[in-house]
Chains A and B, each alone.
Chain A
């Protein structure tokens, strides 16, 4: 069924001469509706005068019809099982969204991080600051092959994603360094690096961005050591309404008692009558004796009842 070269059927198009074997690929693509208008016209002109290629077209259509005969029944039992398993998995998986904060600041922070990287690249040269040059000639830390494609000449085209390392240094008060630290808190998969970054940022929780990053880490970071570190950073701001709201939420939802102990200490450091309801709820559901006793003492100091009725 293959189409061999038929020089007698060759047609001239511009400067190139095409013969039947050149049209073989076009015939397959023609059947799939994947030719450009120009190529389609060129092929149809050729088909009009070439019996061999008309036969090739018939074979291709026959092949496609035969392929369409393949039974394609979806097993709805398997589908139902898949849906059930997925629902269960989704219920126990947290989407990595960082909720509103992440969406709201992602673009500005991302842009800022890029600007910071560019700025750092220009200003904090390794030579000036004793950093390590890891640019040209440095082997990538990680390579991932995206595609491998042989071409007609027998050469191979491989598309590779490379990750390389660059070291930058600067003052922790530098906004560009802070932008990188915020990116690390938000995106770094290694919890040790997140703890380290929060440790540096926590003394700068006076800025809105750092504070929001700490609040989000307290609420959403999957690692309790990171959440504890972020709580430490919020210590001096425990009187603020947004911090208190987050602390109350942590007390109700966080599954690590150490985090709840730290949160109750911060929350009860300031009297706040609006917290009575939350504290009563915590007394009811809390199984950690320390947290429960702190709540009860605070409620008693407020002359509020310990239980809900």
Chain B
């Protein structure tokens, strides 16, 4: 029985991926660009969702694809290109999250004359759609989800993001993060427990 209704990370249009990789390995920049376009929306989305910062997501995008470009000749088809790419992307994201933790990034909460205010909560939603009540609920839920995600460790957050939103299997996630499937399972469970505890009042 399978309940999970998550998004699959498969390509929308079938492409001869192996052929593109081989051509790109021989220096065909057009093939490389097609390869990038097959995956870059997914890469940017993961980076955005993990880091919640367009600037950092942009950096991750550039760093990841440049790494792929420079090291494509080392790709030997002993894992899927998707796994290889995501391994690069998640490691860069994890580095960003860890660095952020070390430098204790500036909080979004500021002191005002009316008391503490979360600047993130005052950001306007870009897509006014649906009814206002639904919109308000979405904004509130989104804010709470972001806070809950912020309480996870970088690794828990990455595992949760990749499993829940990207639909990757835990075995593949474990492989990407250099750990076992069992450890990835434990990590996902810890993440869901923490998230559920944080969102308890809303559910």
Contacts and interface: CB of A to CB of B under 8 A. Distances in A.
Interface of A: 1-2, 24-25, 28-34, 40, 44, 59-64, 66-75, 78-79, 81-83, 85-87, 89-91, 93, 95-99, 102-103, 146-149, 151-152, 159
A34 B185 contact: yes
A79 B44 contact: yes
Contacts of B186: 25, 149, 151-152
B32 A90 contact: yes
Overall SS of chain B's interface: helix
Contacts of B61: 82, 86
B102 interface: no
B44 A96 contact: no
A69 B45 contact: no
Nearest to B43: A82
Contacts of A93: 66, 69-70
A71 B142 contact: yes
B27 A97 contact: yes
A44 B199 CA distance: 27
Given A34-B188, A63-B192, A147-B179, 9 more contacts: A1-B203, A24-B189, A60-B196, A71-B142, A74-B41, A79-B40, A87-B33, A95-B69, A97-B73
Interface in B41-60: 41, 44-45, 48-49, 54, 57-58
B194 to A, nearest CB: 11
A23 to B, nearest CB: 12
B177 A147 contact: yes
Interface string B159-203: 000011100011000000111000101111100110111011011
A148 B182 CA distance: 14
A71 B36 contact: no
B122 interface: no
A86 B127 contact: no
A63 B44 contact: no
B145 interface: yes
Contacts of B65: 86, 90
A63 B69 contact: no
Contact of B199 (A28, A29, A63, A103): A63
Given A28-B192, A33-B3, A95-B72, A59 B203 contact: yes
Given A60-B192, A71-B142, A78 B203 contact: no
Contact of B54 (A31, A64, A75, A95): A75
Contacts of A96: 70-71, 73
Contact of A29 (B36, B72, B125, B188): B188
Given A61-B3, A97-B27, A70 B44 contact: no
A34 B2 CA distance: 9
A102 B71 CA distance: 13
B62 A86 contact: yes
A67 B164 contact: yes
A273 to B, nearest CB: 32
A2 B138 contact: no
5 tightest Cβ-Cβ pairs between the two chains A and B: A33-B2, A82-B61, A97-B73, A25-B189, A33-B4
A90 B179 contact: no
B70 A72 contact: no
B196 A1 contact: yes
